[in-house]
Structure 1
Amino acid sequence: MSAAPVDAELVASATELAERAGQVTLRWFSPRVLASGTKADGSPVTEADRAAEDFLRAELARRYPDDAVVGEEYGDSSGASGRRWVIDPIDGTRSFVRGVPLFATLLALIDESGPAVGVAHVPALHETVAAGRGRGALHDCGGDRRPARVSEVRRLDEACLVTSGIEYLPERGRRALMQPGPLVRTWGDGYGYVLVATGRAEIMLDAGLALWDVAPMLVIIPEAGGRITDYDGEPGPQEGDVVASNGHMHQPALGLLGSSV
């Protein structure tokens, strides 16, 4: 039996919070290279990351005090409700610090039935894709709000494949990019999934993800009509190597990765 649709109020609340947090990050964003620190894993962190996550944690604690929260910058906080909010204040920090406007604020809710709400807000481009389990996905582009739907492209040689960068991919992912067929573009990160969910790309190939990178996409991509799995075709990946598609191109994408599924 499929899980019940999520409360529409939760989708609206998450969307508002992600968009407000995105506005926090824009206080620091500039089309020039910014100074940043370095996390233990070698990835950059900025004052904007911390400020946006601080904002989201404070608002979530006020609105949903019994819910747990996990975020990229500050780890886990416990809750008694059985629900957990997942925060990535700036997905694509390397883009952010280099003045590239394709970074996103990601927010997700996971409840007892699994991924429930997902929001990806791209503040520098004024774009948001928000989805709730059983409620579809919406794309807001500068106030023009429409349903978010994947494309109907069914041929690999007509598809656009997006990735975040070759250096992140395992060998099978790198080999996939060398195969004839799709148009390949980079600078993906969270924005790559937005492109798939809104029909502007057909495949997003990603690797080495944490929960906060992928959690919103587990709602957004299916609710927009697409499919998201690991490289072997297993659904619902919460970390690791991930491929998202418009659905029609999923088997061809797995084929590029050498999967027999």
Structure 2
Amino acid sequence: MPPVTPEQDLELAIRIADAADAVTHDRFRATDLRVERKPDRTPVTDADVACEDEVRRLLAEARPDDTVLGEERGGTAPDAGRYWIVDPIDGTKNFSRGVPVFATLLALVVDGEPTVGVVSAPALGRRWWAARGTGAFTSDVARGIAAAPIGVSAIADLGDAYVSTTDLDYWREIGARDRWVALTEATWESRAFGDFLHHVLVAEGVMDVVAEPGASAWDLAAPAVVVREAGGRLTDFAGTDRIDGGDALSTNGLLHDAVRAIIRPA
């Protein structure tokens, strides 16, 4: 059997995202939605589990030799080879409260490097996707856009930058709230769009910087491909190209070092 190309893997990921959207859309704002608490006190709904199970089923059919790592069902990432990372609902707190800002994140990692990423937000009518070497794209149902290339901003002065984080409490928990405050004071505007959304907005050139002090591999694998293929950078706070460092910095690339000097001083 000939090797699978990144384009073929991306095509599969998009088909699976369609199936995932059907699951989450059906359960969004459902009156019988079941919400429980995981040991870390974060919420999980019956839709999270059902969505991940459907993604795993489809991957098992199409790529039976690939490993799957998921937020809800777990798994172990191999040291080498191919594996998929799925976050069935990124933004479960939003989903459980009826806020439409949530997405399914699906990524393929090959020999430790994310190579395919799809971020699908059905309640927003938006999707973002990329594969290594192919560029990044988006669709927008409301605007009638089926597929449009995207790219990061050209903002080169930190004083003109539009920045986002997830929650100020994350900075407080790591004893670094003063660093976030310092970043907001050095930039034009700050927001807390959070989760997947601010990373893909960096890829679109709408945001310039995302500093996220608490993030897991399943939160970052898919956005990392989209941001990088759009011309930006997604690293940990130390500047290393990784998705498992526990934190994440997304920028248009031009601002990366300036931001790092503030949030991770020597």
Q: Tell me the TM-score normalized by structure 2.
A: 0.88
Task: Name the SS of the counterpart of 2:213 in structure 1.
Answer: strand
Matched ranges for 1:93-242 at <5 A: 93-112=92-111, 114-142=113-141, 143-144=144-145, 145-169=147-171, 170-172=174-176, 174-179=178-183, 180=185, 181-242=187-248
- Whole-Å separation in 2 of the counterparts to 1:84 and 1:171: 34
CA positional deviation for 1:240: 0.2
Cα shift readout 1:83-131 (whole Å, capped 9, x = no counterpart): 1010000011111112221111100001136211011111111111111
CA positional deviation for 1:172: 2.7
CA positional deviation for 1:20: 2.3
Deviant stretches of 4+, over 4 Å? none
> Does the aligned pair in 2 maintain the 1:232–1:259 contact within 8 Å?
no
> Does the aligned pair in 2 maintain the 1:205–1:244 contact within 8 Å?
yes
CA positional deviation for 1:207: 2.4
Q: Report the more deviating stretch, 248-257 or 175-184.
A: 175-184
- Whole-Å separation in 1 of the counterparts to 2:114 and 2:44: 27
Aligned length: 255
Cα shift readout 1:17-61 (whole Å, capped 9, x = no counterpart): 1232022111121299x6510011110000110111011000000
Matched ranges for 1:10-89 at <5 A: 10-30=9-29, 36-76=35-75, 82-89=81-88
Percent pairwise identity: 38
Q: CA RMSD in A?
A: 2.3
**Structure 1 letter corresponding to 2:202:** V
- Whole-Å separation in 2 of the counterparts to 1:86 and 1:61: 13
- Whole-Å separation in 2 of the counterparts to 1:234 and 1:118: 19
- Whole-Å separation in 1 of the counterparts to 2:97 and 2:258: 34
> Does the aligned pair in 1 maintain the 2:182–2:262 contact within 8 Å?
no
Task: Name the SS of the counterpart of 1:209 in structure 2.
Answer: coil
**Structure 2 letter corresponding to 1:221:** V
Q: Tell me the TM-score normalized by structure 1.
A: 0.90
- Whole-Å separation in 2 of the counterparts to 1:78 and 1:102: 28
CA positional deviation for 1:252: 2.1
> Does the aligned pair in 2 maintain the 1:117–1:132 contact within 8 Å?
yes
Task: Name the SS of the counterpart of 1:171 in structure 2.
Answer: coil
- Indicate the structure with greater helix content: 2
1:255 maps to: 261
Q: Report the more deviating stretch, 102-111 or 154-163.
A: 154-163
CA positional deviation for 1:182: 3.3
Cα shift readout 1:169-225 (whole Å, capped 9, x = no counterpart): 333355223441231111310111111111110111112222111111221111010
* Pair 136,182 (structure 1): closer, same or farther in 2 beyond 3 Å: same
> Does the aligned pair in 1 maintain the 2:44–2:92 contact within 8 Å?
yes
* Pair 174,58 (structure 1): closer, same or farther in 2 beyond 3 Å: farther
**Structure 1 letter corresponding to 2:46:** E
- Whole-Å separation in 1 of the counterparts to 2:37 and 2:264: 35
Structure 2 unaligned spans of 5+? none
- Whole-Å separation in 2 of the counterparts to 1:198 and 1:78: 30
- Whole-Å separation in 1 of the counterparts to 2:137 and 2:245: 25
